[in-house]
Structure 1
Amino acid sequence: MGTAGSTSTLLYYPYDVQFDGYGNMYVVDYYNHRIQRFPSGSNAGVTVAGSSGSAGSSRSQIYYPTKICVSSNQTMYILDTSNYRVLRWQMGDTL
Structure 2
Amino acid sequence: MDENGSVYVVDFGHHEVRRYRRVQLKGTVVASGNGTGNCLNQLYHPTCVFIDRDQSIYVFDTGNNRVMKWMQGATEALLWLVVKDEDIVLHNCHIPMELLSIN
TM-score (norm 1): 0.76
Aligned-partner residue type, residue 46 of structure 1: T
| Identical residues among aligned pairs (%) | 34
Output the CA distance in 2 between the equivalents of 1:25 and 1:41.
Answer: 11
Gaps of 5+ in 2: 77-103
Instruction: List, as ranges, runs of 4+ consecutive aligned residues in structure 1 with deviation greater than 4 Å.
Output: none
RMSD value over aligned CA atoms?
1.1
Hey, what's the Cα distance between the residues in 1 that align with 2:73 and 2:67? Answer: 18
Please give the residue correspondences for 1:10-25 in structure 2 after superposition, counting only pairs within 5 Å.
19-25=1-7
Instruction: Report deviation, 1:90.
Output: 0.5
1:92 equivalent in structure 2? 73
Structure 1: 5+ residue stretches without partners? 1-18
For residues 39 and 22 of structure 2, the distance between their equivalents in structure 1, rounded to whole angstroms, comes to: 30
In 2, Cα distance between equivalents of 1:47 and 1:60: 12
Equivalent pairs, count: 76
Q: TM-score, normalised by structure 2?
A: 0.70
- Give the aligned residue type for 1:60: N
Match status 1:76 vs 2:50: no
